[in-house]
Chains A and B, each alone.
Chain A
Amino acid sequence: MPILSVERVTKAFGGLAAVSNVSLDIMEGELVGLIGPNGAGKTTLFNLLTGIYVPDSGTINLSIDNQRIPLNGLRPHSICQKGLARTFQNIRLFKDLTVLENVLIAMHQNIKYGLLTSFLHLPAYKREEEKLLQDSIELLRIFDLDKKKDELARNLPYGEQRHLEIIRALATNPKLLLLDEPAAGMNPAETANLMDIIGWIREKFNLTILLIEHDMTLVMNICERIYVLDYGMVIASGTPDEVRTNKRVIEAYLGEDINNA
């Protein structure tokens, strides 16, 4: 059973169908790429999956431990709690909070103490906060951000902000991770490094990953399967080789050199 199955999902803004009749299945443990020209509807699809937008029609189902969870109509926080986490293309860190606080907030579901404890700082407060702190630092180590834990997120260099976005998403303890252009703005060396780490994260946290990326080399290299969106529709899907030679994909990318990848 696929961990995520999207059936004929449509979302229009005014007259513009940003996502139109999109169906896709993602199997557990896969690393799937989602590509397409600018404005193809990739980010909109992520917003539909995470509950930020409500689909005009179609269904979205998550399956965790052989249990089917319809995501339609759920608010983003419940979708996150079901195990679907994301990063944002236009970085949405809590900029005026510290690196550590960004991660702590994302551990929200792991809070094991109630309001009374937080008012009185009963013993459970100290114990649980200590645990959250250790877990957060552990996660920050992935990108060597533990040394910068007390810096404001806004003061991190751009690349590290993208790293922190990934860590923050991991802190929600996801099964399925949606990454929206994680390598945007990075140089080739940084991108290669990021890809290694994404592969490592996937193994270590047992994740399924859906990745939006413009860098073709990268997508073709690390993704097992690829969906191609154009004008809100899925125009092709399959292995990197299948997609690379697909006529409609080549047309959609006319002018961009997809075969150089």
Chain B
Amino acid sequence: MRKFIALGLVYAIVQILIMTNLISGYFQATLVTIGINIILAVSLNLITGFTGQFSLGHAGFMSVGAYVCAIVTMRMPTIPGFILGVVLGAVAAAILGFLVGLPTLRLRGDYLAIATLGMSEIIRIIFLNLEITNGAAGLIGIPQFINWTWLFIFTVGIVLLLSNFVKSAHGRACISIREDEIAAESMGVDTIRYKVIAFIIGAACAGIAGAIYASYFYYLEPNLFGFLKSVDVLVIVVLGGLGSLSGSMLAAILLALISTYLQSFPEIRMVLYSLILIVIMIFRPQGLMGSREISLSVFSKLGNNKLWDRFKSQKGGH
């Protein structure tokens, strides 16, 4: 319950700040980027951090969601059209996740990374050559539907669903694959099935992230979804901690803020950005959060615990 009150507060405060123009349009774009990166990172974390499957294909899944949603909303520029676009984008990405997953999940480690990278590049080249995606010129004038409310719903919704999933028996099955695939199989876990499930879920979420991107930034071109985009997501996941959803969120926010603040120093931006990453990886090689999660009880511990206890005991005493 406390979780939902906290979330409601975050939503309301940002909404008020936007309505009173205290959050600039520029910073709103940063918020959208943060939301998209959180979705991308938590979903890649499910594949790589929880299930232990190295993937460099997240940009590919994202691009499918983005293009499908854009193509739908450009023909149906209404809220139902937008919702349909997001759903179809997620489904298309999920189907792709399944198709890529089945044959390639027998591969391990580097091989899987190369296969997913190849998949992602093939998709990019297809989008470069299709008529409906307008090739290299890209799609312009995609209707904008994403506002803070939609962003919040999608981001928080996906994070909550995934965090429920990893705490379930099915999530544990995924984690057991990361820990020891042979032991997992020997204990009755169909490892191929759960790897495919992780890929499908991860791909669907990446598709939604793509749909959000398309529905906020007006413009899509295939080169937005190159190899470096997948690496960006992987950096967030590793930085936040493999196997920690809150770590992924923290890292997504941190990196977006850092790159926003470094925006004014374009020459040194990439250098500083890389330096910060290197420093963090030297001092926290397991990522900011390791595989732990932040829970809301941490915040109540941070607050004055004794005061809270006294308050409770007084309440109980009367």
Q: Mark out the residues of chain B between 156 and 179 whose CB falls within 8 Å of any chain A CB in the assembled complex.
A: 161, 164-165, 168-173, 175-176, 179
A109:B188 contact, CB within 8 angstroms: yes
Question: Is the beta-carbon distance between A118 and B169 smaller than 8 angstroms?
Answer: yes
- B184 to chain A: closest residue by CB: A105
Contact present for A105 and B176 (CB under 8 Å): yes
Selected interface stretch from A20-28, A60-68, A93-101, A209-217: A93-101
Q: Indicate the size class of the contact surface on chain B.
A: 20 to 34
* B172/A105 in contact, CB under 8 A: yes
Minimal beta-carbon separation of B43 from chain A (angstroms): 13
Q: Which residue of A lies closest to B176 (CB)?
A: A105
Taking a contact as CB atoms under 8 Å apart, the answer to whether A105 and B186 are in contact is no
Q: Are B169's CB and A76's CB within 8 A?
A: no
Closest to A165 in B: B183
Q: Report A-chain residues with C-beta under 8 Å of the C-beta of B110.
A: none
The reply to whether the CB of B302 lies closer than 8 angstroms to some CB of chain A is no
A24 to chain B, nearest CB (A): 21
Encode A233-257 as 1/0 by CB contact (under 8 A) with B. Answer: 0000000000000000000000000
Per-position binary interface string of chain B over residues 221-265, scored 1 when its CB falls under 8 Å from any chain A CB and 0 otherwise: 000000000000000000000000000000000000000000000
Q: Which residue of B lies closest to A128 (CB)?
A: B169
A81 to B197, CA, bound (A): 20
- Let me know if A172 and B169 touch, CB within 8 A: no
A-side contacts of B175, CB under 8 Å = 94, 97, 101, 105
Do residues A118 and B180 form an inter-chain contact, with CB atoms below 8 A? Answer: no
Q: Which residues of chain A are within 8 angstroms of B165 by Cβ–Cβ distance?
A: 115, 118-119
A-contact 0/1 string along B167-210, CB 8 Å cutoff: 01111110110011011111111111000010000000000000
Given A108-B187, A118-B169, the answer on whether A94 and B164 have CB atoms closer than 8 Å is: no
Q: Is A32 part of the binding interface, using a Cβ–Cβ cutoff of 8 Å?
A: no
Verify B170–A118 contact, CB threshold 8 A.
Answer: yes
List the B residue with the shortest CB-CB distance to A92.
B183
Say whether A52 faces chain B, with CB atoms less than 8 Å apart. yes
Q: Of B169, B180, B185, B191, which contacts A111 at CB under 8 A? A: B169
> Is A88 in the interface zone, CB < 8 Å from B?
yes
Tell me if B190 and A77 are in contact (CB < 8 A). Answer: yes
Chain B contacts for A109, CB-based, 8 A: 188
Cβ A119 vs Cβ B164 within 8 A: yes
In Å, the complex CA distance between A86 and B183 comes to 10
- In the assembled complex, the Cα of A172 lies from the Cα of B184 at a distance in Å of 11
Which one of B164, B187, B190 lies within 8 Å of A105 (CB-CB)?
B187
Residues of A90-147 at the interface with B, using a CB-CB cut-off of 8 Å, are 92-97, 101, 104-109, 111, 113, 115, 117-121, 125, 128-129, 132
Across-interface contacts of B182 in A (CB, < 8 A): 52, 76, 92
| Beta-carbon nearest neighbor of B180 in chain A | A92
Q: Are A101 and B190 in contact (CB under 8 A)?
A: no
Give the Cβ gap from A169 to chain B, nearest Cβ, in Å.
8
A86–B180 touching, CB < 8 Å: no
A45 within 8 A of B: no
Query: Is A105 within 8 A of B189, CB to CB?
Result: yes
Looking across the interface, which residue of chain B has its beta carbon closest to that of A118?
A: B168
Does A162 have its Cβ within 8 Å of any Cβ on chain B?
A: no
Complex-state Cα separation, A120 to B163, whole angstroms: 10
Cβ of A43 < 8 Å from any Cβ of B? no
User: What's the least CB distance linking B223 to chain A, in Å?
Assistant: 34
* Residues of chain A from 38 to 68 with CB closer than 8 A to chain B in the complex: 50-52
A175 located at the interface, meaning its Cβ lies under 8 Å from any Cβ of chain B in the complex: no
- A163 contacts partner chain B, Cβ-Cβ < 8 Å: no
Are B169 and A77 touching (Cβ within 8 A)? no
Interface string of A66-91 (1 = CB under 8 A from B): 00000000011110110001101000
User: Which residues in B have their C-beta under 8 angstroms from that of A92?
Assistant: 180, 182-183, 186
Contact B172 A88 (CB under 8 A): no
Alpha-carbon separation in the docked complex, A75 to B188 (Å): 9
User: Pick the contact of B188 from A77, A94, A97, A121 — CB < 8 Å?
Assistant: A77
Give the interface centre of A95, A106, A108, A111 by most chain B CB atoms within 10 Å: A108
A225 touches B (CB below 8 Å): no
- Judged by a CB distance under 8 angstroms, whether A168 is at the interface is yes
Contact between A95 and B179 (Cβ–Cβ < 8 Å)? yes
Contact partners of B192 in chain A: CB under 8 A: 75
Chain A contacts for B172, CB-based, 8 A = 101, 104-105, 108
Residues of A within 8 A of B185 (CB): 51-52, 75-77, 80
Which of B161, B187, B189 is close to A119, meaning CB atoms less than 8 Å apart? B161
Once the chains bind, are A111 and B170 in contact (CB under 8 Å)?
yes
A235 to B185, CA, bound (A): 32
Q: Mark A175-212, 1 if CB is under 8 A from B, else 0.
A: 00000000000000000000000000000000000000
6 A-B pairs in the complex with CB atoms less than 8 angstroms apart: A76-B185, A108-B188, A109-B188, A111-B170, A115-B197, A118-B170
Chain A residues near B (Cβ < 8 Å): 50-52, 75-78, 80-81, 85-86, 88, 92-97, 101, 104-109, 111, 113, 115, 117-121, 125, 128-129, 132, 168-169, 171-172
Apart from the given pairs A111-B169, A171-B187, 13 other A-B contacts in the complex at a CB distance below 8 Å = A50-B186, A51-B185, A92-B182, A92-B186, A105-B172, A108-B172, A113-B169, A118-B164, A121-B164, A128-B169, A129-B169, A132-B169, A169-B187
